[in-house]
Structure 1
Amino acid sequence: MSAPFPALGIRADAGARMGIGHVMRCLALAQAWQKRGGEVVIYTHAEAPALMERLQQEGLTTIKLRHEAGSLDEAREVASLAADAGLPWLVADGYHFSPDYLAALKGSGVKLLVLDDLATIDLTAADIVLNQNAYASEAMYPGVKRLLPGARHALLRREFVASDRPRSAEPREASEIIITLGGGDPDNVTLKVLKLLSGFTLRPLKLKVIVGAANPHLDSLRSASSGPHQVELLVNPSNLPDLMKHAHVAISASGSSCWELACLGLPMILIITADNQRGVAAKLDELGIAEVSGWHEDFPAADTLARITAFLDDQPRREQISMLGRKLVDGHGAARVVEAMLHHPLRARHATIDDARLLWEWVNDPEVRASAFNTAPIPWDGHLAWFTRRLEDADCLIAIIVDESGTPVGQVRFEGEGDLVIVDVSVAPSARGRGHAAAVLRLGLGLLFEAPRWQHVEAWIKTSNTASQKSFARAGFRRGEEKDMHGLPAIGYHLSRHEFF
């Protein structure tokens, strides 16, 4: 019987000033962890009834902390709770966690993942640092053990990625607008937007205003007028992804919601409502994925209404933004982060010509030759020529799996045509017997599925090779039909992209 899937601990807060973004992106990670079979507990000071109810509906255990948020006493409290629960991983997401706080969390012996946006403090206590922003880079984090950078790791809740239904064609003139300035919006930027749009007179607009229950300005928003336009105020709508899919444009804060909008292909106009959003807005502007309207205190500028008007009437630009957004964020970031945590400290990289001799030595290992359909030794010259061609072949990907020191422990090769690849895997002789084979496979698959082209993977394994069959099953492959391969009986194992994520 396999061991039960471990539980995950999360430390995150929410409030009127900080908003709910930290908790909600952690919820996305929690959902991905639960999908793999694990339970999740969140340690928090958040109290908003609607938020706490949502977390409980999602199956999370919530534990209210006793000590002051961000204090060392609180860190020791969390560490003790994690140790008592036997948690292998803790996730920390909040700007009020100091380096000493993070080091104290490690006192429970857990592995630590820290979500960060700013790179302003020492994060060397973390085993993994996650910065899901498109501007994130290794250069921002000298000395950290491991970084997961960029929007490919964006944490989106399952409701934003559950539907593969394509977005409708962009209309020539956009008229249905979602306004979402954060769960709290303490500076009431939403009201500024409504007042500005009241001056738009080319045609009536349908404005859906999304606010959180913690928004302190609900009364003023309910009484606000936006000229000739239809305004609907929605508090914590449960169908937000559907609202976004049917909208023509979003006017949004420049926080985590950007990745949701990008994934759904919704053209966006961004307002910077907090200092930590400046980098997001600048990068999305650089990538051509958003129209940026600047800092909220300076909103609106003299030309803001004219720029919004031009955006609403620029169908080609909105089509381009929609395409680029979906290309940037595919919705599988949370699953990628879970994979990295589960197989830490192993990670995947692309093979280079410098790997040629090592892979030649591996492929000629007696155990590898015995499991192959062609058991003859591989000569060096032939291998080098073959390997060089494969590195240049767009229909081939070779992944090298390395440990924390960068030492290779396995390789996975994918070759195919169309959307189907055949996989070959091997573990370094020195790394065998440690249960690495399934992890090597999963990490190689993660690298393969970075490209949307590849949808299906299959392997053919000798019927006598029960060890490989078990490894492929542990990696999530389905056992299929039997047939002769090179005159020997073999079993097919299959996995599709949607099954991996």
Structure 2
Amino acid sequence: MNVVIRADSSNIIGTGHVMRCLALAKELEEANTNINFICRESQGNLSKWIKKNGFGVFGIPVSNDERMNLVFEQDFDSCETISIIKKMEKTIDWLIVDHYDIDIGWERILRPYAKNIMVIDDLANRVHDCAVILDQNLFFNMSERYDALVSNDCVRLLGPQYALLRKEFRSSRLRHPRRLASRSGQIMISFGGSDPGNDTLKVLEAVEGLALQNVAIKVVIGGANPNKAEIMKKCAEMDYVKYYFQVDDMSELMEESDLFIGGGGSTVWERCCIGLPGIVIPIAYNQVNPMKELAKAGIIHLYEGEKSVRGYMDEIEFAMSNLTYLNDLAIKGMKIYDGAGTIRVSKCMRRICREYSSTLS
């Protein structure tokens, strides 16, 4: 198959869209699939990381004025995307779109240039023209969320069983079954690829203020984080803290941890897969409602208070003194997600491709 992925990353929107598409790309790659990404050249983009993972990247130019880049023009973007696809000079079996600013208007313009379109979404707030809609979030009404947004024949891949994680998490789950925690001394802090509110630093200051005994902290920073230098300096001042930047062994770091503190992006599913309980602090509007649903289901501990050092101190103190509660979160998380989402999505894509070919023969 030939697959094109249209997804962006930046200091402003973070890296989640690209990272989950990379996870799917890695799964598809194992079955002899040719994959290329099309991405805006925004500040803090992950194009180098995509190339490091072995995939082609075609850039869409942006303005030197970052304020201008906050406005997404579908007409311009669709024209640029079509131009890039034409230069590939190959039939595109799948165009995968993971972008909150793209809807049916863009998709209808691109439809002649790909056999199938798959949309990855979390918001359910736009109409789409696609063969497949994928939404990995847990909602009580998830089977109905897209009734008015996609056609009746659109395949709906809805729920955590379709969460897109790298194979390493699935392997970790099988290799090292989670044991119930008897302590909470190994803490991981990670707020995704960008952390625009610098909550990583606030949590570090909260841990420092608690003067915890017998703890070891792992701080994981993403490539689009604009506060890297400040966070690195703070970590160096705390002798029980280790600093990690843009890691590719996240599952191993999680295996060694007892408690996670961080944002509500795809990392939530990584933790569920491995069985690592966590305090989740939404750092983007698209994380709020999905995290509320997970909290209702008893899968995460959701912090909705003021994003302050004092507030974080109280939550950390509560979590570390309630191991039974943390273990319960871990068990429920592992039950809801097994790490095989990319396998399920890949199989669906291949089945639809076969059906498409059979209708032509």
CA–CA separation in structure 2 for the residues paired with 1:109 and 1:262:
34
Q: SS of the counterpart of 1:294? A: coil
Q: Identity of paired residues, percent?
A: 27
Alignment correspondent of 1:212: 222
CA contact (8 A) 1:70 1:97 kept: no
Matched, 1:88 2:93: yes
Q: TM-score, normalised by structure 2?
A: 0.87
Contact 1:56 1:62 in 2 (8 A): yes
Between the aligned partners of 1:131 and 1:237, the Cα distance in structure 2 is 26
Higher strand share: 1
Question: 1:21, 1:228 → 2: CA distance?
Answer: 29
| Residue of structure 1 aligned with 2:135, choices 122, 131, 134 | 131
Q: Which amino acid aligns with 2:291?
A: A
Partner residue of 1:186 out of 190, 196, 201: 196
1:282 aligned to 2:286?
A: no
Residue equivalent to 1:371? none
Q: Answer with 157-166 or 335-344: which moved more.
A: 157-166
* Structure 1 residue 266, shift from structure 2 partner: 0.6
Quick one: distance in 1 between partners of 2:312 and 2:56? 45
| Equivalence map 1:191-206=2 (5 Å) | 191-206=201-216
Amino acid at match of 1:55: I
Q: What is the deviation of 1:248?
A: 0.7
SS in 2 for 1:210: strand
- In structure 1, the residue matched to 2:52 is 57
Whether contact under 8 Å (2:186, 2:257) holds in the other structure is yes
Q: Once the 2 structures are TM-superposed, how far is the Cα of residue 343 of structure 1 from its aligned partner?
A: 1.6
Give the superposition deviation at 1:214: 2.2
3-state DSSP of counterpart to 2:47: helix
Deviations for 1:32-81, whole angstroms, at most 9, x for unmatched residues?
Answer: 11122211111112467893333223221111124786431321332354
Within the candidate set 67, 76, 79, 1:76 is matched to: 79
Say whether 1:115 aligns with 2:120.
yes
Structure 2 runs not aligned, ≥5 long? 64-71
- Give the aligned residue type for 1:328: I
Separation (CA, whole Å) in 2 of partners of 1:110 and 1:36: 19
8 A contact 1:160–1:260 mirrored in 2:
yes
Q: Residue 160 of structure 1 aligns to which amino acid in structure 2?
A: F
1:322-353 Cα offsets, whole Å, 9 max, x none, are 1211111111111111111222289xxxxxxx
Q: CA separation in 2, counterparts of 1:70 and 1:338?
A: 30
TM-score by length of 1: 0.64
Query: Counterparts of 1:33 and 1:225 in 2: how far apart (Å)?
Result: 38
In structure 2, do the counterparts of structure 1 residues 228 and 205 end up closer, same or farther at CA, with 3 Å as the change threshold? farther
SS across alignment from 1:223 = helix
Per-residue deviation, residues 163-202 of structure 1 (Å, max 9, x unmatched): 3222452332201111001111111111111111122235
Distance 1:151 1:137, change over 3 A: same
Correspondence list, 1:74-473, <5 A:
74-82=77-85, 84-123=89-128, 125-135=129-139, 137-143=142-148, 144=150, 145-163=154-172, 164-224=174-234, 230-294=240-304, 298-300=306-308, 304-344=312-352
**Partner Cα separation in structure 1 for residue 62 and residue 46 of structure 2:** 21
State the 1:106 CA deviation: 1.1
**Aligned with residue 44 of structure 1, among 39, 47, 50:** 39
Greater relative contact order (CA < 8 Å, ≥ 6 in sequence): 2
> Please, what is the CA RMSD of the aligned residues?
2.7
Q: Is the Cα contact below 8 Å between 1:10 and 1:90 reproduced in 2?
A: yes
Cα distance in 1 for residues equivalent to 2:5 and 2:238: 46
Note closer, same or farther for the CA distance 1:224–1:289 as it changes in structure 2 (3 Å cut).
same
**2-structure distance, mates of 1:260, 1:138:** 23
Aligned partners of 1:28, 1:90: CA distance in 2, in Å?
16
Task: Give the direction of change, closer, same or farther, for the CA distance of 1:304–1:67 in structure 2 (3 Å limit).
Answer: closer
Deviates more, 1:63-72 or 1:170-179: 63-72
Query: Residues 416-436 of structure 1: CA distance to partner in whole angstroms, max 9, x if unpaired?
Result: xxxxxxxxxxxxxxxxxx59x
* 3-state SS of paired residue (1:8): strand
Shift of 1:113: 0.4
List aligned pairs for 1:486-497, cutoff 5 A: none
After TM superposition, give the deviation of residue 159 of structure 1 in Å: 2.1
Question: Which amino acid in the other structure matches residue 18 of structure 2?
Answer: V
Q: Which residue of 2 aligns with 1:385?
A: none
**Alpha carbons of 1:129 and 1:105: their partners in 2 closer, same or farther (altered >3 Å)?**
same
Cα distance in 2 for residues equivalent to 1:25 and 1:31: 10
CA distance in 2, matches of 1:27, 1:197: 33
